[in-house]
Amino acid sequence: GAGVSQSPRYKVAKRGQDVALRCDPISGHVSLFWYQQALGQGPEFLTYFQNEAQLDKSGLPSDRFFAERPEGSVSTLKIQRTQQEDSAVYLCASSLLLAAKETQYFGPGTRLLVL
């Protein structure tokens, strides 16, 4: 079936604006992950869900970042009062189960630019 999709692919926001980034995981995948990838860096973990439960949000950089997955499928990452340092690519990944050995399938990412 279809892979992980993310929207929008690109987002330009003015500093202080709120943004919402959407992730559609592979159908039937239990686990969903959000990562932040700065230019020239590897992805950095933000948070993950098992079904609708957010099991770890230790990577969220501040309380301006909020993620939800209310029905255990689509997820939204919201950033309030965006700052320039929030500019990055936000990657979503899903996996069939939640286990260290599970392969994660990544979406194409949303490139956020905060001016």
What are the residues binding other proteins (CB under 8 A)?
4, 33, 35, 40-45, 48, 56, 59, 91, 93, 100-101, 103-109
- The distance of closest approach from Cβ of residue 3 to other proteins in the complex, given in angstroms and rounded to an integer, is 9
The rounded distance, in Å, linking the Cα atoms of 17 and 92 is 22
The residue among 42 and 70 lying less far from other proteins, judged by its C-beta, is: 42
3-class DSSP state of 67: strand
SS3 89: strand
3-state secondary structure (DSSP) of residue 84: helix
| Residue number, 88 or 91, with CB nearest to other proteins | 91
Q: Which is nearer to other proteins, 77 or 107 (CB)?
A: 107
Beta pairing partners, 92: 34
Q: How far is the CB of 106 from other proteins (least distance, A)?
A: 3
Tokens 């330009």 belong to residue: 12
